[in-house]
Structure 1
């Protein structure tokens, strides 16, 4: 009887809630026509959805169905300080993909905080150790030393792409969870948009967390990662844009950009190494020296006043096109093996802790599956073999 009712009973939903769900999901008119063909009739009051149809609509738009029965759309602010701007204006409505990503990371951070406290992990000493009044160059020097990322240390990395992976390991070894993902969880149909955000930091004394948008270029990811680490140094949770080719009026974002740039390409060294002409060959040479992308090198040439803003913008656009063309020509293999990619999405440090606690009986398997983004026990076992236990 209940199943029949679910199919046949009609429910009243305020049109504003239906519009809210569609806008929140970022659907285009074409997507609405394809995925909710009866929406216009519901909005006009010519028809009402059945409970089953509303459940399907809620699932498609990733909206909690209970919220669709509210009298007015809920206010869903970004749950951490939002430092993204377009010009001088903050960005208004966050997408459901962004919100779900932040909520998921907060949930994982909560679990890890409890785990760390239970096992007596010490506070991560550099969290909140810096102030905006501190010299970014001094803080950057501390970061390079902490991560063993001085210029002479970088020879161990064959390229800047390996340097990115190496930086992740070194930041995690310093006590920060690093999660890099270009989709929401494991849902390949929900790709994150770098134009909406590039990363965020969730500051915490024992469980600081950095999330980097893996849908962004790897050149941008390495900059975002260190930018978010700078927020952790400030003891700030923050949602960031951290774009290489944009200017910001936010003081914290400016400071974190300066720290990140100085960590990756120390200006004093660049002034001695630069040969005075930003050709592709020169950018490539400097990129090899610092194990960063040519785009980061260009940013530092602008910072060092070797390039004016308009010239920098033009050269950056040209170099980005060149780099993207090379990437498309050299990367035809797709997203890679799940068991190589997934630990990067989760944070190896976090995944090892969940696996260890589960095998020791502290966390139930069903909770571990949820934390690790898996549904099958075999997937869990394969992660155990790939990642190991702490």
Structure 2
């Protein structure tokens, strides 16, 4: 039987800092560590030291190295991005430990990307700045031209997964890093970091692919405004007060479903009365543009005259339908998961820095989030052998 774990003297302030940094309550920590809440309270009050085993479990729960608990004082925490999720009459769900850890990880990846760009001498790619008073159609048209993706390319993609990969690649060509991490959909669909360069977009991989595409360009609009934040884009919303969120929703819709292209599609399909389109016809149009049916229906409402009651009746009926079950894919290897989460832009930058001996191989493993026991596959990843998505 293993012996009793020794106690360790650590600052109570550091224990409290680690817990609060992930937004966890005393009861949540107690449940995870299978330790009485009263004991956790004693640790934080300095009345009882934790055992080494308990400290290791707490470090794992808070995603902190054990060494962090022996710092002289709690380190400063980076500020969370601005929270845009609250709307009149609807209170935002508190951010969970999982989402807070993703935000912390993204901020770290942004810092690492900044250092790597400087080390490798990569040129900056300036991004046009807009304001909420800017015309979203004009902005969307200009940004589509800048990204260099034609409508023929967009409608030619086989599915939304291929569309997301292509859009992500187009955005990342301008040194904007797009990360994908799982986050509870009820909390957030994505967020953006615009306080410093390089700019970062994080999309929730827990969402459906059409929603991820919409979120990508909703957050891209946040970068155009230089006003990053945590978002829960409401794809079914039709009218909103003039605000950052309404601008970003309108921009994403204008970008993904250009007005003239939608009108051409309606004409080609012989749809004289768009309000009378069947659900199947709306879904077919949505598939053509690689967006959700909510986005397509809203773009129809914005482009042609659809009475409010008809618009909302359909939206409410869709929302009342059971959500489709997402198909579970095969388990990904750590290296392939890293590529999907961090993207080819970040991964190739790490590979370049490591090949030029600007960082060590151990650094590269750390930056890519690959475990040491996966060294052989990590080497394949760093040499560009792994194919990514």
Instruction: Note whether the superposition's TM-score is higher than 0.5.
Output: yes
Question: Any conservation in 1 of the 2:253–2:299 contact (CA below 8 Å)?
Answer: yes
Alignment of 1:94-113 (within 5 A): 94-113=95-114
Structure 1 residue 92 displacement after superposition: 7.8
Alignment of 1:1-390 (within 5 A): 7-8=6-7, 17=16, 24-25=23-24, 32-33=30-31, 35-40=33-38, 42-43=40-41, 48=48, 50-52=50-52, 54-62=54-62, 78-87=79-88, 91=92, 94-125=95-126, 127-182=127-182, 192-203=183-194, 207-246=198-237, 251-274=243-266, 275=271, 276=274, 277-304=276-303, 306=306, 308=308, 310-318=312-320, 321=322, 324-325=323-324, 327-328=325-326, 331-336=327-332, 338-376=334-372, 377-383=375-381, 384-387=383-386
Question: Any conservation in 2 of the 1:88–1:249 contact (CA below 8 Å)?
Answer: no
Going from structure 1 to structure 2, the CA distance change for 1:361 and 1:75 (only over 3 Å counts) comes to closer
Q: In structure 2, what is the equivalent of residue 185 of structure 1?
A: none
Which runs of 5 or more residues in structure 2 are unaligned?
none
Q: Tell me the C-alpha RMSD between the 2 structures.
A: 3.9
Matches of 2:352 and 2:70, distance apart in 1: 41
Question: Any conservation in 1 of the 2:338–2:370 contact (CA below 8 Å)?
Answer: no
Structure 1 residue 23 displacement after superposition: 8.2
Matches of 1:346 and 1:375, distance apart in 2: 15
Matches of 1:69 and 1:385, distance apart in 2: 39
SS at match of 2:358: coil
Going from structure 1 to structure 2, the CA distance change for 1:27 and 1:255 (only over 3 Å counts) comes to farther
User: How many residue pairs get matched?
Assistant: 367
Question: Any conservation in 2 of the 1:181–1:212 contact (CA below 8 Å)?
Answer: yes
Structure 1 residue 235 displacement after superposition: 2.3
Matches of 2:113 and 2:253, distance apart in 1: 30
Question: Any conservation in 2 of the 1:298–1:316 contact (CA below 8 Å)?
Answer: no
Structure 1 residue 62 displacement after superposition: 0.8
Question: Any conservation in 2 of the 1:348–1:387 contact (CA below 8 Å)?
Answer: no
Matches of 1:60 and 1:167, distance apart in 2: 35
Going from structure 1 to structure 2, the CA distance change for 1:332 and 1:239 (only over 3 Å counts) comes to closer
CA deviations on 1:310-343 (whole Å, 9 max, x unpaired) are: 3243133156x3xx43x54xx3434545544431
SS at match of 1:25: coil
Q: Could you state the TM-score of these two structures normalised by the residue count of structure 1?
A: 0.78
CA deviations on 1:264-295 (whole Å, 9 max, x unpaired) are: 11234334534322422211221233232323
Question: Any conservation in 1 of the 2:82–2:230 contact (CA below 8 Å)?
Answer: yes
Matches of 2:86 and 2:206, distance apart in 1: 20
CA deviations on 1:173-206 (whole Å, 9 max, x unpaired) are: 2332111122xxxxxxxxx212111111223775
Going from structure 1 to structure 2, the CA distance change for 1:134 and 1:265 (only over 3 Å counts) comes to same
SS at match of 1:7: coil
Matches of 1:115 and 1:18, distance apart in 2: 29
Question: Any conservation in 1 of the 2:85–2:230 contact (CA below 8 Å)?
Answer: yes
CA deviations on 1:17-63 (whole Å, 9 max, x unpaired) are: 4996598237987x854642422455489x94633254045235317
Going from structure 1 to structure 2, the CA distance change for 1:128 and 1:93 (only over 3 Å counts) comes to farther
Matches of 1:44 and 1:27, distance apart in 2: 11
Q: Could you state the TM-score of these two structures normalised by the residue count of structure 2?
A: 0.79
